Chains A and B, each alone.
Chain A
Amino acid sequence: MAEQASERGRGAQSPHLGLRRINWSWLGTVPFFLFACAFLLLPSASLVIGSFQDNQGNFTLQNITDLSQPSIVNAYLLSMKVSGVTALLGTLVGGLLAWAMVLGRLPRFVRAFLIPFSGVASNFAGVPLAFAFIATLGRVGFVTVLLKDLGFNLYDKGFNLYSFWGLSATYLYFQIPLVVLILTPAFEALRPQWREAAESLGASGGYYWRSVALPILTPALLSTVVLLFGNAFGAYATAYALTGGSLNIVPIMIGAQIQGDILHNPNLGYALAFGMMLIMTFVLVLYSWLQRRSARWLQ
């Protein structure tokens, strides 16, 4: 703000010079905006336009209405289910871990280990992550065999790594550490004075959490859920490597469409991608709104 003001002030003093400088300063950012237009705007805009065209290039809404066919609706629902479940579970588990680490009065090495580990694990995804879970919970995986030796057959009980719960368990491996990284500062921002003030007024620990801490943390928790939802919704590599494309979530469907036009209509494929962009836009807008709200208290 101060910069803006001084910039305007100087412009007013010497209008000629200011005018010339504005022309020049635009030029400085031209390469960036050209790049953004060519590789960000154009590809996404061409998908959006394509979803409103038929094969001859005429305007149509047919592709959008065709999104309501059962296989596509199911793919969106399954994608949302995986994203929603891993976002909620991830925030819950990650939040408890962050709470334990920050407020659990644990020795320092817990934190010294958990933070860098979370950084690594939140970036450990794709093919290696999928394989780690195959080696753990696959049909001949370590835990599966171990449980079988103890007389408990996971796969007879209906578990399958290459299905909804298997994929969710795998996604949680990068979702939970992300939560730990995001929520640690939030828990640290809870001032001890607030707790002391509540206690001196006679509040119990539970009352303090319900009436003071949780309301303050709520925007941060909600924005974490939203971020995780987006994080899982766009994930392709892990799902592809784990299920080989057999689990019908939207990114996998788009991949199959790129490879072999499984929908038998390229424009319907564009509409599929457009729907995904819409949902991600909604996620981003909601996220930044919640972020602004949580920044009010947690500085």
Chain B
Amino acid sequence: MKKRPSLVAWLFIVLGTSYFLLPLIATFLFSLRAKKDTLGFTAYQRVFADSSFYATFRFSALMALLTIIASMLLLVPTVYWAYLRHPRLHRLIELVSLMPFVIPPIVLVFGLIKSYSRPPVILVQSRGLLIAGYMVLTLPYMYRAIDAGLRATNVKTLTEAAQSLGAGWPRIIWQVIVPNIRGALVNGAFLTFATVLGELTLAQYLAWPAFGPYLARISQNKAYEPAALTIISFALTWVIFGIVLLVNSKDQQQTQFGGTH
């Protein structure tokens, strides 16, 4: 009796799976109907022929990359340093990294606009502010990834070994610490990429021609293209998480998930 698969369990899985697959199937079928009375990929062709699709995608991908680089430059040395020298600061950094949970994107962008749209510091027209906002938005995920990576590494021993061989701080971080937490960094990077790529709230209110606002505009004005774009987005998310899972199965690390909705 113990070995028999439970019928109730099957029922739950089948019902759950159909709730998840139905919208995807519906969207896919819808995306094929752009031409009257025939099924075909016309909607996809139109999307790929649209120059603002590429322009906005490129913009968001670039912002995502810059966010990842800036986040890592800021967080890796900080968290490493806290691990090495300041266990108490470590708590404080952890607390700060949880703060974005308290400030949803719409509140964050509201605060950023209020703080930086009038003298003394005007930043609302700078890409820097958008990137800073994205860094805040993805801080919990990036911090947790780096923290998990460092926890699994013997930071103290590695540092002392490198120091006794005469390595300086930049070299220790770049050539000893970073290679040891590579899996964690890839994890954080892709999660950040997935979050920033389709992000709507910050991009919209800071008025940037990003992919999220483009998706929103198209879905208000067109019928079949947004269906095609939805399928493309879903496939992209799969690709990104496929890479994360692949990297993690190699590094035997726990995958974390999260994002903004």
Interface of A with B (CB < 8 Å)? 1, 3-4, 7, 21, 25-26, 28-29, 31-33, 35-36, 38-40, 42-44, 46-47, 50, 93, 96-97, 99-101, 103-107, 110, 114, 116-136, 141-143, 171-174, 176-178, 181, 230-238, 240-241, 244, 251, 254-255, 257-259, 269-270, 273, 276-277, 280-281, 284
- Whether B215 pairs with A128 at a CB distance below 8 angstroms is yes
- B253 contacts partner chain A, Cβ-Cβ < 8 Å: no
Is B16 a contact partner of A284 (Cβ separation < 8 A)? no
Residue in A40, A50, A133 whose beta carbon sits within 8 Å of that of B136 in the complex:
A40
Q: Is B42 an interface residue (CB 8 A)?
A: no
The reply to whether the CB of B49 lies closer than 8 angstroms to some CB of chain A is: no
Across the A-B interface, how many residue pairs have beta carbons closer than 8 Å?
277
A74 CB, min distance to chain B CBs, angstroms: 18
Chain B 72-90 per-residue mask, 1 if CB under 8 angstroms from chain A, else 0: 0011011001110111110
Contact flag A237-B102 (CB < 8 Å), given A128-B234, A244-B220: no
Task: Judge whether B102 and A104 touch: CB under 8 Å.
Answer: no
Nearest CB of B to A120, in Å: 5
Query: What is the chain B residue whose CB lies nearest that of A182?
Result: B257
| Interface positions of B (Cβ within 8 A of A) | 2-6, 8-10, 12-13, 16-17, 19-20, 22-27, 29-30, 74-75, 77-78, 81-83, 85-89, 93, 96, 98-115, 132-133, 135-136, 139, 156, 194-195, 198-201, 205, 212, 215-216, 219-220, 226-227, 229-230, 233-234, 237-238, 241-242, 244-245, 255, 257-261
Identify the interface centre among B195, B212, B238, B260: most chain A CB within 10 Å of its CB.
B260
Residues in A neighbouring B195, C-beta threshold 8 A: 123
**By DSSP majority rule, is chain B's interface helix, strand, loop, or mixed?**
helix
A25 to B198, CA, bound (A): 38
Expressed in whole angstroms, the Cα–Cα distance for A47 and B102 within the complex equals 13
A142 near B29: Cβ-Cβ < 8 Å? yes
Top 4 A-B pairs, shortest CB-CB distance: A104-B9, A43-B111, A234-B104, A142-B26
Query: Complex Cα distance A142/B33, Å?
Result: 12
Asked whether A123 and B259 contact (CB < 8 A) given A251-B104, A280-B101, the answer is yes
Residues of chain A within 8 A (CB-CB) of B12 are 96-97, 99-100, 104
Q: Given A178-B257, A236-B105, A238-B261, does the pair A21, B85 have CB atoms closer than 8 Å?
A: yes
Contact (Cβ within 8 A) B23 A135: yes
Known contacts: A132-B23, A251-B106. The answer to whether A97 contacts B216 by CB under 8 A is: no
A60–B95 Cα distance when bound, in Å, is: 30
